[in-house]
């Protein structure tokens, strides 16, 4: 069996920084309100003329340089994005052309989980021997689909791109196990209505269908049910225990969701990478940007075992255990590891269920963004602060 080893990585974010203080001048919000509920302090916003393809190419070039390759070495390009430059053609083809690559390219749309979906997809192409070197990109200029008068969404999102180069290896490395999931019954909780169902008419624009709409409370509940469970399941499938994981790199949507997932898993926070404070939620770009920063900061070393996990529009979820580089002792694979994987998955699941049960009371105290206690509301109103509406 062939494995996809990560040999290159890179990121690109716009220069423009929008801080919480800047947003205080635009909508009814405050730095304290945003940080307390999301963990976000600032985000990067792409200026006019900088599109998803622009950031993707920059991230891809950085990843290729790190890998010591040139565009001609790429066999396939997979781009995860929900904010393409155009509906047609696919942004992946525009990226392929701008890079100067001569290969196939396609876009994968799975919301914030898109990068993990793409990484897993790349592994399948490599495992079958179809391709040897694959460029995987997660990129968004999601700020163009944000209503900057809506404080519930405009404080959350930012723009950016991250990329990795995967190359075939005979040693167990890269994606060791994964879980991909979807529950379309929750589609309405996170969506941009504009599309074939609601074409770009004057009426649609008047109704702001071109902007992202989110039911924060429902998305929060979905994330807290899904994130830790999926990570535990995937870790078990790899034949590992939670204690074997060197670093968790979650989708950077909300610091409180990340902390809750870590607690449910029994993973110390020093084993969790968080950079949401600098970039906000960059959707499909958040995990590759975080992965790149973790490597650059020395948080990821050769042979480390990582768990990448995310959730997003769809509603979807995805997790993958990824070995960075080669381990000193190869991880057991194939039929011989099956009993171990089964036992590990069951152990991990039981551990998460037990921790989740003990935390239910506290979970009810931390709904997403907008809900505060009556006492807080009363105190804020008496202080002239309407922030808890």
> Which of 244, 226, 227 is closest to 235 using CA atoms?
244
- Which one from 51, 112, 254, 348 is the annotated catalytic residue? 112
Q: Which residues 6+ apart lie within 8 Å of 43 measured at CB?
A: 17, 18, 157, 158, 159, 278, 279, 280
Helix locations, 238-337, DSSP H: 255-265, 276-279, 286-296
Residue the block writes with tokens 């975080």? 290
52 close to 90: Cβ distance less than 8 angstroms: no
Q: Cα torsion at 325, 269, 160, 166 (round to 10°)?
A: 10
- Which one from 154, 251, 275, 348 is the annotated catalytic residue? 251
Cα-to-chain-centroid distance, residue 54? 20
> Which of 186, 62, 167 is closest to 125 using CA atoms?
167
Cα-to-chain-centroid distance, residue 28? 28
The Cα 245–Cα 73 span in angstroms is 32
Half-sphere exposure (Cβ direction) of 122: Cα atoms closer than 13 Å? 38
Active site residue 152: no
Residue the block writes with tokens 């624009």? 205
Helical pair 114-127 and 286-296, crossing angle rounded to 10 deg: 80
Active site residue 281: yes
- Which one from 20, 254, 275, 281 is the annotated catalytic residue? 281
Positions annotated as catalytic residues are 112, 251, 281
């Amino acid at each position: 069996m062939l494995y996809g080893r990560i040999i290159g990585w890179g990121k690109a974010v716009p220069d423009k920084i929008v801080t919480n203080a800047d947003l205080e001048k635009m909508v009814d919000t405050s730095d304290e309100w945003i940080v307390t509920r999301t963990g976000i302090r600032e985000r990067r916003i792409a200026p006019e003329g900088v599109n998803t393809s622009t950031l993707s190419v920059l991230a891809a070039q950085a990843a290729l340089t790190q890998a010591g390759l040139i565009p001609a070495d790429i066999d396939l390009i997979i781009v995860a994005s929900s904010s393409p430059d155009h509906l047609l053609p696919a942004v992946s083809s525009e990226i392929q052309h701008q890079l100067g690559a001569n290969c196939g390219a396609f876009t994968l749309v799975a919301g914030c989980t898109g990068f993990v979906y793409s990484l897993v997809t790349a592994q399948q192409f490599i495992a079958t021997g179809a391709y040897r070197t694959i460029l995987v990109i997660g990129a968004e200029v999601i700020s163009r689909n944000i209503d900057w008068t809506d404080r519930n969404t405009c404080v959350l999102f930012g723009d950016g791109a991250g990329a990795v180069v995967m190359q075939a290896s005979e040693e167990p490395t890269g994606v060791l196990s994964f879980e991909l999931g979807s529950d379309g019954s929750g589609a309405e909780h996170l969506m941009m209505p504009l599309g074939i169902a609601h074409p770009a008419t004057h009426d649609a624009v008047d109704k702001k269908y071109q902007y992202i709409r989110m039911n924060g409370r429902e998305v929060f509940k979905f994330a807290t049910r899904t994130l830790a469970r999926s990570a535990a399941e995937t870790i078990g499938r790899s034949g590992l225990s939670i204690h074997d994981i060197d670093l968790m790199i979650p989708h950077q949507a909300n610091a409180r969701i990340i902390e809750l997932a870590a607690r449910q898993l029994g993973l110390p926070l020093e084993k969790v990478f968080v950079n949401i404070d600098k970039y906000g939620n960059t959707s499909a770009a958040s995990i590759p940007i975080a992965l790149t920063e973790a490597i650059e900061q020395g948080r990821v070393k050769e042979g480390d075992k990582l768990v990448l996990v995310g959730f997003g529009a769809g509603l979807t979820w995805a997790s993958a255990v990824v070995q960075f580089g080669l381990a000193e002792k190869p991880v057991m694979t194939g039929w011989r590891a099956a009993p171990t994987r089964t036992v590990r998955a069951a152990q991990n699941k039981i551990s998460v269920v037990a921790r989740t049960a003990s935390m239910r009371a506290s979970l009810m105290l931390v709904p997403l963004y907008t809900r505060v206690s009556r006492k807080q509301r009363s105190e804020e109103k008496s202080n002239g602060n309407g922030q808890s509406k």
